[in-house]
Structure formats: structure tokens, C-alpha cells
A and B are shown apart, each in its own frame.
Chain A
Amino acid sequence: MTDVPTIAGWLALACERWAAARDELTELDAAAGDGDLGVTVAAGATGVAAALAGLPADVTLPDLVRCAGAAFARGNPSSFAALTGAGLLAAAKYLDTADSDCREAVAGALDAAADRIAERGRAAVGERTVLDALVPSVTALRSAPPGRAAALTAMVAAARVGVAATSEMPAVRGRAAWVGERSAGIPDAGATAYLRLLEALASVAQA
């Protein structure tokens, strides 16, 4: 199992790369929502990278995840930030009691995050939200061949398929629901944001 400071380093580096998705996410969100998702992700990701840099060397994995969740939410008061923050806090709570030495602990933590986001956002898979990329990526994680690189590759591939599928989903949650058909043919910005994070994580942690 990778040590926690190494994970923190990966996550911080991935967040710095993730923040570069700002303009793409702004454009996607402007087409269907109110266009603030790029700012939310950039501010949240930058905040997470800074918060992780300030953690003590002996930080536990749950505390690292809790710190990341609070920092992301603090970036700006948008619904996406509050939902992501809440999801990460739920993941941290799961990790408090899980055996973090196995892949199933990570999958379980992501399940906990997805459940919390679904409950708070009153959303389900198939409703054009981040869940449409997150949930299939967890399924892929569980069935991927052994090894970190294989797991991340499988998660990215599943999330990419999930994001593509959101293009044809009607929006029923969030501001995207108000504009109805305007979102047809355009992938969901929140699901795309999650895919870009996974890609960044894979690029820094696969080596």
C-alpha cells in the first residue's frame, strides 16, 4: 500500500492539473447551466492543493480526504462544491472504519461519496450529473486487473463512456434542468469535471 504522504502528493499535483480544465468546464456549463463550474473546479482544486501541502507528515488517509473535502467546498459556495465536499466527507467517514489497505476500501469510499451526493443532490444515475461518470468508474475499479495503473486506466475508460452518455440524457437536476433541451448533445459539465480529475490522477500516479 502506498503511504499517505505519497497519495497527498499525487492528489495535490493532480489538482493543479485539474484546475487547467477551467475554461473547458466553463464553456460546457455555460451551454446548459449558469457557467460557474469552471470557476468552482479551479478554485476548489487550487484550494485542495494548498490545503494538502499544509498537512502534517503523519496524517491519516481519512483526515487527508476530510481536509480535501472541506477545502474544495471552501473554494466557492456553489452547489457542485458543496456536493463534492459532502461526498468527500462521507468517503472520509467510511475510511475511518475501513481497512484502507485494499482496493475495496477505495471503492467503498467512492460508493459512500456517490451515495451522499445522490441523497443531498436528490439525484440518481441517468439524470445527467457527476454520478453518471462516478458510479461506472467505481464498478470498473472493482473489476479491473490488479495494479494501480490498470485500475486507473479502467476507471478513466468507464468515466469517459459515462460522460459521453450524458450528452443524450435530459437534465432533471440542478440549473441544467431549467434550460431543458438546450443541453441536448452536450456532455454534462459535472461528469466531465470528474473525468478530468481522474485523468489528471492517472497521469501523475500511474508511473
Chain B
Amino acid sequence: MLVRAGGASAGEVGIATGGGSGHLPLFLGYVGPGLATSVAVGNVFSAQSSDAALAAIRAADAGRGVLVLIGNYTGDRLNFELARDLADAEGRDTRLVLFADDVLSAPPERSADRRGVAGVVFAYKCAGAAAAAGASLDEVAAVAERVAARTRTAGVGLSPTVLPTTGRPTFQLADDEMEIGIGIHGEPGVRRGTLQSADAVADTLLDAVTAELDLAPGARVALLVNGLGATSAEELYVLTGRLHSRLDRSGVVVHRTLVGEFATSMEMAGASVSVLHLDDELGTLLDAPCQSPFLPGSLR
């Protein structure tokens, strides 16, 4: 369990998060002023314990309640829900928001089964800014819910990661293949295909993401282009160039762009694209200052 330097800020709603290791900077890297308050981590690709989750909730509680903001994974959820039961018995007020932004992990009619991936960074940023501005627990939770409802992510894997516990790769791919819809633990995607150009990959991912976002001309978005661990910044910027030109062409305004490693899968090669459909309040919250070595001081 790790908590913000100086602990939870008096008068602020706390934000507790967590999950398995192997995804740095997720989850530890998003603890800081204007972001999450505390974090509980488990072993590589394994849920955090309920004890660690309860410790994170306690550490985040400065008297105005705690938002538990986590990705939608069964073990992570069950252990945090149990920790919420125990926190409830201690008289603490908590809310749970599950982030499930990976569009390719389940079809729309099963969206509650989707995995949470890199898009959660937008939720830390916006909910953290709301908490820092003094919003109530219900308001902070509502911001996180709105970011979750308006964010979609799609990813592609080019090479697997090797699990330290087994010494085996999480999946097998030929040199000239890619897995569309890969999860951040190497979960199978929707389709395995021949390696394509960066432009074609960018188009595939952007089409998957925008299909559910209803972006009319003039819509404002935040864009996050995430490397999965072994993909160079140069390649990510090539993808970003194509994404910008596609969005420009459809009249969508890109308010902020983040390019780099935000939610990785150790040494997996590949990338994901997240789009947050902003409204006025989310745009303001996204621009508010925050402090973390893994995010610009503010996203400006």
C-alpha cells in the first residue's frame, strides 16, 4: 500500500485505487496531488489483497469519504468490495466506480464484462481534480462515472510478455502477426491478423473506439496513445499523427493529447488508443494541475 506524501488532504474526498503489478506507471504512478490518494498493489497480474485494499481505503479517508476507482477485473473488484464491507463496519463512507473502457474485450451488450485499461488515467485525472476542488463524494464519483461512460480504448499486441512466475510467454504470435483487441495481461483479442502499417492499425483502433462515442463535428476529445511496454515513442508518434489527421478530417477537436507509456504489460510490444469525449466540466478538470512523475504537471 502506498499513500500520497503527507497523507490524505484534510477536507478532500480520497481516491483509492489498485490492482496487480506489471502495468507501471499504472497504478502506483497515479498517486499524487490532483490524482489518486492511495494505492494497493498485488503481485504481477494478481489482485491486491483485501487487507491492502482496506489499508488503502483507510489511508485515503480524511473524513469526507473515499472513492474506490479500479479497473473491472474480478479479483481486484472482489477484494476491494470486501474491503469496502470492512470499511463500512468501521463507519467509513465509500463508493465504487469500475472502469471498463476496453471496447474489444466484450460486445456492447456485455459492456459490464469489459476490462479496464489505459483510459482509467483520464478518470484519475478528472476525479482527482474534482476532489482537490472540494467536491463531495457523490460528486467525485459522478465525475468518475461520467469519464467511464465517455471513454473507450482499443489495443493491439505485437509480441507477448513473459510471466516471471511461470517463465512462459502469455501468448504466442508469429513475427508477422498482430493481435487486435489484446488485453493488458495478454488476454486474447477479437482477431489475429497479418501485421499492417501504422496507419492501418491507427484506423482500426480509432474506428473501434469512436464507434460507441457518437462524436459529431465540433466534439472535443482527449486522446491517449499508450505504449504497452516495448514499443518506441517514435512508433507511438507515428500512430498519433494518423489519429490526429483522421480526427481533424471528421471535425473533432483534440483538446489534449498524451503520448507515452501509461498502462503497460511489462515487455509486451503494442499500443492502445483511448478517447475521452469531453464536456465542458471534464475539459476544465482535465486541465487542472496535478503532480506525478508520470503525467505532465498539468495536461496543458
A and B: real partners?
A: yes
B44 to chain A, nearest CB (A): 13
B1 to chain A, nearest CB (A): 13
- 0/1 string, B14-36, CB within 8 A of A gives 1: 00000000000000000000000
Q: Are B49 and A77 in contact (CB under 8 A)?
A: yes
Choose among B42, B50, B81 the residue with the greatest number of A CB atoms under 10 Å from its CB. Answer: B50
Q: Are B74 and A89 in contact (CB under 8 A)?
A: no
From B82-90, B122-130, B144-152, B265-273, give the one contacting chain A: B82-90
Q: In the complex, what residue of chain A is closest to B80 when comparing beta carbons?
A: A82
Q: Are B81 and A89 in contact (CB under 8 A)?
A: no
Q: Are B74 and A77 in contact (CB under 8 A)?
A: no
A74 interface residue, CB < 8 Å from B? yes
Q: In the complex, what residue of chain B is closest to A74 when comparing beta carbons?
A: B51
With A89-B85, A89-B86, A89-B89 already in contact, the answer to whether A79 and B78 are too (CB < 8 A) is yes
Chain B residues near A121 (CB, 8 Å)? 78
Q: Are A77 and B86 in contact (CB under 8 A)?
A: no
Chain A residues near B75 (CB, 8 Å)? 77-79, 82
A73 interface residue, CB < 8 Å from B? yes
A66 interface residue, CB < 8 Å from B? yes
Q: In the complex, what residue of chain A is closest to B81 when comparing beta carbons?
A: A120
Sort chain A's interface into a size bin.
Answer: 10 to 19
B79 interface residue, CB < 8 Å from A? yes
A38 interface residue, CB < 8 Å from B? no
Sort chain B's interface into a size bin.
Answer: 10 to 19
Q: Are A86 and B51 in contact (CB under 8 A)?
A: no
Within 8 A of B (CB), among A70-113: 70, 73-74, 76-79, 81-83, 85-86, 89-90
Q: In the complex, what residue of chain A is closest to B52 when comparing beta carbons?
A: A77
Chain B residues near A70 (CB, 8 Å)? 86
User: Cα distance A85–B53 when bound, in Å?
Assistant: 14
With A89-B85, A89-B86 already in contact, the answer to whether A74 and B78 are too (CB < 8 A) is no
With A82-B82, A89-B82 already in contact, the answer to whether A74 and B50 are too (CB < 8 A) is yes
Chain A residues near B291 (CB, 8 Å)? none
B contacts, CB < 8 Å to A: 42, 46-51, 74-75, 78-79, 81-82, 85-86, 89
16 further A-B contacts with Cβ under 8 Å, apart from A77-B79, A79-B47, are: A70-B86, A73-B50, A73-B79, A77-B42, A77-B49, A81-B50, A82-B75, A82-B79, A83-B78, A85-B82, A86-B82, A86-B85, A89-B86, A89-B89, A120-B78, A174-B74
Q: Could you name 21 residue pairs across A and B whose Cβ atoms are closer than 8 Å? A: A70-B86, A73-B82, A74-B49, A76-B49, A77-B42, A77-B49, A78-B47, A78-B75, A79-B74, A79-B75, A82-B50, A82-B78, A82-B81, A85-B85, A86-B78, A86-B81, A86-B85, A89-B86, A89-B89, A90-B85, A121-B78
User: Considering the complex of A and B, which 10 residue pairs feature the smallest CB-CB distances, nearest first?
Assistant: A82-B78, A77-B49, A89-B85, A82-B82, A73-B50, A82-B79, A86-B82, A77-B47, A85-B82, A79-B78
